[in-house]
Structure 1
Amino acid sequence: MGNGSAPGNGSEPPPPPPGGHNVAALVLGIVLILLIVGGNGLVCLSVCTERALKTTTNYFIVSLAVADLLLALLVLPLFVYSEFQGGVWSLSTVLCDALMTMDVMLCTASIFNLCAISVDRFIAVSVPLNYNRRQIDLRQLILISTTWIFAFAVASPVIFGLNNVPNRDPSLCQLEDDNYIVYSSICSFFIPCPVMLVLYCAMFQGLKRWEEARKAKLRGGIYGGNRKLYHPSPFIEREQAGLEPDECNPYAHSDHPLPGDYVMNNGVQTVSYPHLQYPPPGHSRKRAKINGRERKAMRVLPVVVGAFLFCWTPFFVVHITRALCKSCTIPTQVTSTVTWLGYVNSAVNPIIYTVFNAEFRNFFRKVLHLFC
C-alpha cells in the first residue's frame, strides 16, 4: 500500500547481500503475506456470514480489508521479490509501472476508506434521524465507490506513462517524477489525514453530547411510589392515593366539566375523550438511537486510525522529503524500514478487531477451532 516505490526511489539501490539474495526479506515477506491474507480474509468472511456483524460500519471495514487483501496478492509478492534480489528490479518496466500503480492506489484506497468511515460515522451522530442503521444504503454505497474511484484517479498517471522518462534505469522500480511524488503524497495522506481527524473529533463530541442528553433524560424520568409516567393516549389513567375520585377531578364540581367518560377500575380512574384523536403510542415522535453495537464499533475506529498513522506517517515523511530535498541523504536502510512498516499495517487491522471487538473475536475463534 505504499504510495511510492520499492527501496531505491531516487537513490542507488542497496548492494545485494552475499550470494545476491536477501533471505530474511523473503521469509519476512512470506509471513507477512500469509498474515494479511488470513486476517483480512477472516474479516470479510465474518461480515458476510455473521448477522451480528452486518453493520454499516463493518461494510466500510470490509472495503478496507479488500484493499489490504489486494495489497498482499498484487503488490507484496513483487516487492518481496525485489527485496530478495537485493533491491534490483529484473522484470519488465511495464510490470514495474503496474506495481507502482497498484501500490499508490491501494494505499490511497486505505486512507480514503478510513475517511469514508469518518464521514459515515459523523452523519450517524449528527443527523441520526436520516441515517439507515439496518442495512447499507445508497449514500454508503456511493461513499465506498467514491473511495476506489478517487484512489484510481490518483494512481492512474503511472500506468498511463508518467514513469516513461528519458534515461530511465530499468534495474530500479520506482516513481520517476518528483512532482508526482509530492502530488500523490498530498492527495493520499497529507490532506485526508487532517480531514479525517477533524471529523472524528466532531463525531465523538456529538456522541458525548448524545450520551449526556440520554443520561439526563433517564434521570428526569419519574418512577417509583404512587406516581407513574404515561405516554399521551386516548386513555389518561391516574392512580389514586387515598383520595376520592371527585377530589382528584378538577372538573367534577365545575359547571363546565370536560366532556368525557369516567370509569373506576380497582381504584384507578380512567377518563376517555372520544372527540380527541391522539397518535398511536410510540409514533408521536420519531426517536434516533445509537445502539451498543454501534458504540463498540466507534471505539475500535480510533485505534485503527492510530495504527494507520503510526505505520504510514514515517514513510510519507521520508517519501516527500526525498522528493523535495535533493541535497538530503536518506540511508537506504531507513527507506526500506519505513516501507516495511507501512506494509505491516495491513496485517495489524484484523488483530485490532480481534482484541477490541468480541463479535469478531468469537468468529475468529470459531473458525480457528475448525482447523486446529
Structure 2
Amino acid sequence: MSADSFDTSLMPLATDNGTFPTELPPGHSPLKSPTYLKAITISMYSIIIILAVGGNSIVCYIVFRARRMRTVMNFFIVSLALSDILMAIFCIPFTFLANLVFNYWPFGKILCPVVTYLQVVSVFLSSFTLVAISLDRYIAIIYPLRRKLTKKQAFIVIASIWVVSFLIPIPTAVTSRSQKYVNTSTAPSFCEEILWETEGAKLTYNGVLFFLQYINPLVILIVTYGRISYVMWAIKTPGEAMSSRDQRMSESKRKIIKMMITVVVIYAICWLPLNIINFVGAIDIRIYNIRGMNYIWMASHWLAMSNCMYNPFIYCWMNAKFRNGFLRVFSCFTCGVIDCQDRLELERLRRQDTMLTSMNGNSNSSRRFNSSKRSSSNSKRSYCDYSAIKEKGIQ
C-alpha cells in the first residue's frame, strides 16, 4: 500500500521473509509481530466487517420495511449506512490482508487503483452525509418556519453527495499503481500513488483531501450542532407555555439531536489518530521509521475502521423505533422466517380491521376478526409475543 498517499490504506509495507532483495521503497519497513498478535488483530478486523455489514444492512431494511420509517432523516441514515458497508467491504479486508497476512500487495494491478479509489470514496461519503444531516437538522430547528426538505429533495441531495464523493478522489485512481521495486519475478508488489509529476503536487492533493474529508466537515458539524444544542437546551422563552404535544415533539427532537451528536463525536474520535498520522506522513515519510510506528498505525487504522460498525448500536440504543426494528428482525431469526412472515401479515390485517372498525363504528366485526385469527396465531405468539408487540412501534 501507499506509504505517502492520504487514504485509509496507508501503511509502509515490506517483506522480511528473506527471499527478496533488501532494497525496498523509501519509508517501507516490515510489520513484524508474533503470530498470536496477528491472529488477534485479524479477528478484531473480522468482527468489524461482520458487525458493520450486518448491522448497517439491518438499518437499511428497517427503514424500507416500515412506511413510517421512510423519513428524510432516515434516508440520510441509510446513505450513511451504505457508505459504512462500502468501507467495511473495500477498506478493511484488503488493508489488513496486505499489511498483516502478506506484507505486500497480492491482489494484482487492476484492484490496486480500484480499491484505493473506493477507500477514499467511502470516507467522503461518510463525512459528507454527516454534514448533510447536520445542515438539515440545523435548518429545521433554527429556522422552523422554512419549508422542510421533501423526500424528493433529500434524494437529490443524497445523489449529489454520492456523485461528488466519486468525483473528488479520481486523481487517486489515476495515480495509483501496483509496482515492484526490484526487477525479479519473486519480488513483492506495492500499491502506491506513483504517477504524480512532482512531490509538491502529491502533497497538495493530500492536503486538499485532508481538509475536505475531515477538517472542513468537522468544523461544520461543530458549528451546526453547537448552535442546535444552544437553541434546544439553553434558550427558554419567558412566559411560554408548552402543551403536552409540543413537549413530546420537543423531547423527540432532543433525542434525535443527541443521537446524531453521539454519531459525530464517535466519528471524530475514531478518525483523528489516523488522519494525523497520514497528514504528518505525507509531509515527512520518515515518521514511519520511528520504532513501534507500525503498531501505532495499525491501532489507529483499526480505530478508524471500527467507526463503521458503531452507528447501528447507537441507533438501537438511542432511538426506540430502530430498537424495535432490530428486535423484530432478531425475532425473525428466532421464530423462523415463515412464522415471522405470518405474524407480520396478521398484524397488518389487525391494523386494517381496527381502522375499518373506527370508521364504521362496528366493534362487533373487530371481535369476530380477532376470534377467528386467535386460534391460528397462538402457537406462533407463544414464543414471539414480545416481538409482535414491539413491532407496532415502527409500523
TM-score (norm: length of structure 1) = 0.72
**What is the number of equivalent residue pairs in this alignment?**
299
Report if the CA contact (8 A) 1:37-1:69 is conserved: yes
Which range moves more in the overlay, 50-59 or 318-327? Answer: 50-59
Q: Who is 2:236 aligned against? A: 212
Task: Give 1:363's match in structure 2, choosing from 308, 325, 350.
Answer: 325
On the 8 A contact 1:33/1:72 being kept in 2, the answer is yes
For the Cα contact (< 8 Å) 1:74–1:102, is it kept in 2?
yes
CA 1:368–1:58 in structure 2 vs 1: closer, same or farther (change >3 Å)?
same
What does residue 315 of structure 1 align with? 274
User: Which of 294, 302, 326 does residue 253 from structure 2 map onto?
Assistant: 294
Provide Cα deviations, 1:213-252, integer angstroms capped at 9, x if missing partner. 3x73217x9xxxxxxxxxxxxxxxxxxxxxxxxxxxxxxx
- Give the deviation of 1:179 after TM superposition: 3.5
Cα separation, 2, equivalents of 1:129 and 1:141: 22
Q: Is the 8 A contact 2:76 2:158 kept in 1?
A: yes
Partner AA of 2:241 in structure 1: L
Q: Compare 178-187 and 56-65 and name the one that shifted more.
A: 178-187
Number of the residue aligned with 1:136: 151
- 1:152 aligns with 166
- Between stretches 164-173 and 353-362, larger displacement belongs to 164-173
Where in structure 2 are the equivalents of 1:25-174 lying within 5 Å? Answer: 25-132=41-148, 136-138=151-153, 140-159=154-173, 161-164=174-177, 171-174=189-192
The one-character-per-residue Cα deviations of 1:102-135 (angstroms, maximum 9, x if unpaired) are 11110111011111111111111122222337x5
SS at structure 1 position matched to 2:189: coil
113-122 or 179-188, larger mean C-alpha shift: 179-188
**8 A contact 2:315–2:323 mirrored in 1:** yes
Are the counterparts in 1 of residues 124 and 213 from structure 2 also a CA contact under 8 Å?
A: yes
* Residue in 2 that maps onto 1:181: 206
1:344 aligns with 2:306: yes
Closer, same or farther in 2 for the Cα pair 1:164/1:88, shift >3 Å?
Answer: closer
- Measured after TM superposition, the shift of residue 175 of structure 1 is 4.2
Residue 12 of structure 2 corresponds to 8
1:70 and 1:106 in contact (8 A); partners too: yes
CA drift of 1:321 comes to 0.7
Deviation of 1:314 (Å): 0.7
In the alignment, the residues of structure 2 paired with residue 20 and residue 203 of structure 1 have an alpha-carbon distance, to the nearest angstrom, of: 47
Q: Do 1:122 and 1:203's aligned partners in 2 also have CA atoms closer than 8 Å?
A: yes
Q: Distance in 1 between matches of 2:262 and 2:317?
A: 11
Cα–Cα, structure 1 residues 168 and 152, in superposed 2: closer, same or farther, change >3 Å? farther
Greater C-alpha radius of gyration: 1
Matched ranges for 1:245-284 at <5 A: none
| Residue 96 to residue 166, structure 1, CA distance change in 2 (3 Å) | closer
Change (3 A) 1:14 1:143: same
Q: Any conservation in 2 of the 1:13–1:88 contact (CA below 8 Å)?
A: no
Q: CA deviation at 1:291?
A: 5.3
Deviations 1:194-222 (A, max 9, x none): 1221111122233347x723x73217x9x
What does 1:196-207 align with in structure 2 at a 5 Å threshold?
196-207=221-232
- Give the letter aligned to residue 324 of structure 1: I
Shift of 1:308: 0.2
Deviation at 1:6, TM superposition (A): 4.1
Cα distance change, pair 56–14 in 1 and its aligned pair in 2 (3 A) = same
Give unpaired runs (5+ residues) of structure 1: 222-286
Give 5+ residue unaligned stretches, structure 2: 1-5, 14-25, 183-187, 195-201, 335-395
| Superimposed CA distance per residue, residues 253-301 of structure 1 (whole angstroms, 9 cap, x where no aligned partner) | xxxxxxxxxxxxxxxxxxxxxxxxxxxxxxxxxx9x9554433211201
Q: State, as a whole percentage, how many aligned pairs show the same letter.
A: 26
Q: What letter is aligned with 2:168? A: V
Cα distance, 1:306 vs structure 2: 0.4
Partner of 2:380: none
Say which SS state the counterpart of residue 201 (structure 1) adopts: helix
Q: Tell me how far apart the structure 2 counterparts of residues 295 and 18 of structure 1 sit (CA, whole Å).
A: 48
Distance in 1 (CA, whole Å) between partners of 2:29 and 2:36 is: 13
Q: 1:120 to 1:23 in 2, by over 3 A?
A: same
Amino acid of the residue matched to residue 316 of structure 1?
N
CA distance in 1, matches of 2:313, 2:36: 35
Maintained 8 Å contact 1:3/1:185: no
Partner residue of 2:216 out of 175, 186, 191: 191
What is the CA–CA distance in structure 2 between the aligned matches of 1:20 and 1:86, rounded to whole Å?
A: 16
Task: Name the residue aligned to 1:353.
Answer: 315
Aligned 8 A contact 1:123 1:131 in 2 = no
More helix by share: 2
